Structure 1
Amino acid sequence: MLRPAVRSAIVMIAVAAAGLTMGEALVTDAGRIALLVLGLAAIGCVPWRYRYPWAFVLGSILVGNVSLIATYLPLVGVFVIATRRRTTETVLVLVLSVAAAAANIYRGIPDLQEMLLLLGGAAALLTSSAVGGLLAGNRRAMVDDLRERLARAEAEQVERDEQARAAERRRIAGEMHDRLGHRLSLLSVHAGALVLRTDLSAETVRESAQVLRDTTHRAMEDLRTIVQVLHEPPCPDAVEPEDTEDLTAVEQLVSEARAAGADVSLRSTALLLVSPPGRPLAGVAYRVVREGLTNAARHSPGAAVEIVLDGRPGRDLTVTVHSGCTGEGPAPQGAGTGLVGLRERVETLTGGTLAHGPLPDGYRLRAVLPWTKEKDA
């Protein structure tokens, strides 16, 4: 779309070029030169036609009837008023323009037949300009309305995303709160046993101390997570997620999907390791797979789904869910809050990243989760 300055320049050149055909540039007397300058000055006001519409249209009617080079300037004024989409104003300006043209033609053309012919042509041009202005005004109003709706939809989407993130943070905080309470209760039990039992062997004491050390380490990890996400108190109505200890829950999830008739394949190197990932990686990986299967069942029912879990300690655990196409057209668009909450969980609990998007042969959901011994101790 052309910029306003460019459009104004084109209009000015078109009006001046059309006016030159009336013979204004051929005169040499002072009066005609003054009218030529007046007409050029009126044409120079075109860039301000929308800022001062009534001043512009009245000036264009007056100048257009005395300066030949500005003869076609009233067409621009009628167009500008018509874009305001006010019927009374448009009709009034159109009548004034036709009346001014009739007076000018009557003054310069004595022959009645020729006068009526020129008047009919002028009225047709002015009416066409008014109709074009109305159409342009309607189009501009539609574009403005669409832009407003788009801005409102984007704002609502941002608000929904923020609400989804906040809800996920509350669920994570509630989950971590309960887990921390469990850790502390274990600490209390083992510490109480050491205090009350005086007949324990040195080996038993060392084993109990090791349990206390491991439990304390996990409690500190949970406490750090709570500090990161606990912006608001836990939501009492939120449904608490499963406490997944390892990746066997992923195998169970795939088995359930197959039992329901889904075409799901699972390839995993992480499941074959002696020390597979524990919490929180296992829980996050489980949620990624569950979200991928849910979206595949919702948007591409019957399509093949491939799940890949790859990684080892000291590197990243990569969880990929690739669903194929069914060939039944584009998938329906959802609210996307599930992916927003999943991203919040991936980034908050593991420091990982989540990516998703369409591919030529389907849709891919991919999470990269840092896998360190300290995080899964």
Structure 2
Amino acid sequence: MDTSTAPGRRWRRGARDWVVDLAMFLLAVGFGLMEAMDLSGPRHAVQAPETGPELPVWLSATEQLVALAGCTALWWRRRWPVELAVVLVVLSALSSLVAGAMLIALFSVAVHRPPKVSLTVFALSVPAAYVNVLIWPDPVVSMLVFLIMGVTLQAAATCWGLTVHHRRRLVESLRDRAVHAETEARLRAERAQHQVRESIAREIHDVLGHRLSMLSVHAGALEYRPDASPEEIARSAGVIRESAHQALQDLREVIGVLRAPVGELPQPTIADLPQLVAEVDDVAGRVELVREYTGTVPERVGRTAYRAVQEALTNVRKHAPGADTRVRVAGGPGEGLTLEVRNGPAASPDTPVAVTGTGQGLVGLAERVSLASGRLEHGPTGAGGWCLSVWLPWPHERDASGSPGDRRGPRR
């Protein structure tokens, strides 16, 4: 249905509509004049007694006034296309002078209404054409030929209107599709921005959280042990200074990436685990690294494993200061990479906790592991410590190049 002719919708005729409506009005009037001239010729000269007496003057004048009214009504064909077409079809059965207005009305119905409605009105016009042929027979052309000519004109007007109708629907569909595509593109861009922001937030949490937790542990140790020897105080102050310097460097890198038009955050790999463990070792407890894997770990798997160990060690310093920790990394291609970070209880029950966690670190780590198609398990141990275990898929080298291989997880 054409929204411009919907009931209750105020429609204003534009300049193009005025020109089209005037052309349609003049065309209908011209068609009626041609029919009037034809009626004054051979068709109207049929002699009695076959066709009876000629029409009275008043009846002929009435027919012309009705035809003029039908042509004038075309100015409102957009507002009431179906009603006007039905009235003109009925009148066309009695008078040939409204045939032009009737054809234009059929065209308007086909343009502004669904095909089912326009075809129904066209079906009504066929018997009207037959009645008109019976009332006004042509002495030269046979009734069948004259009927076929009339129905052909009506079908042509309807088909033309249907073509315009479908073309308009196609244009509207393409316009809606373009708007929909633009909306989808905007949503994809917003989603990509949101994912980038989440990635940057995770990196900031992982990198700065690790550095700042070391600062907190050493500052807490100095506060907890004011009687420490000058060597221990100097050592802790050096660690605090170095950790603060590294935190500032990491922060500068993150801000630099945010300011750059194109770039990525610096990403560690599993080869950086020894350096990570060396930084944490002997800060508030001993950290042991056990590596039992063979082969070259894929970059994405190694990056996820590094972040998992980093988050686990940060939590150890937060919640179990001074606890001994064991980091074990094992696996191989096709078997998967398994890492386990297990720590004992805090060195002393009276040791102050560095900071109070919110649990967001484990939530972000679980999301990171899930994106890598891995599994994360964590929980307390029987000895009063904590254990974090992660399994990550590590396909065969031929799998990474596209060849089939064993992509199953570790055997249980």
- Name the larger-Rg structure: 2
> Of the two structures, which has the highest relative contact order with CA contacts closer than 8 Å and spacing of 6 or more?
1
- For Structure 1 versus Structure 2, the TM-score category normalised by the shorter chain is 0.3 to 0.5
Question: TM-score if structure 2 supplies the norm length?
Answer: 0.42
State the TM-score, normalizing by the size of structure 1: 0.45
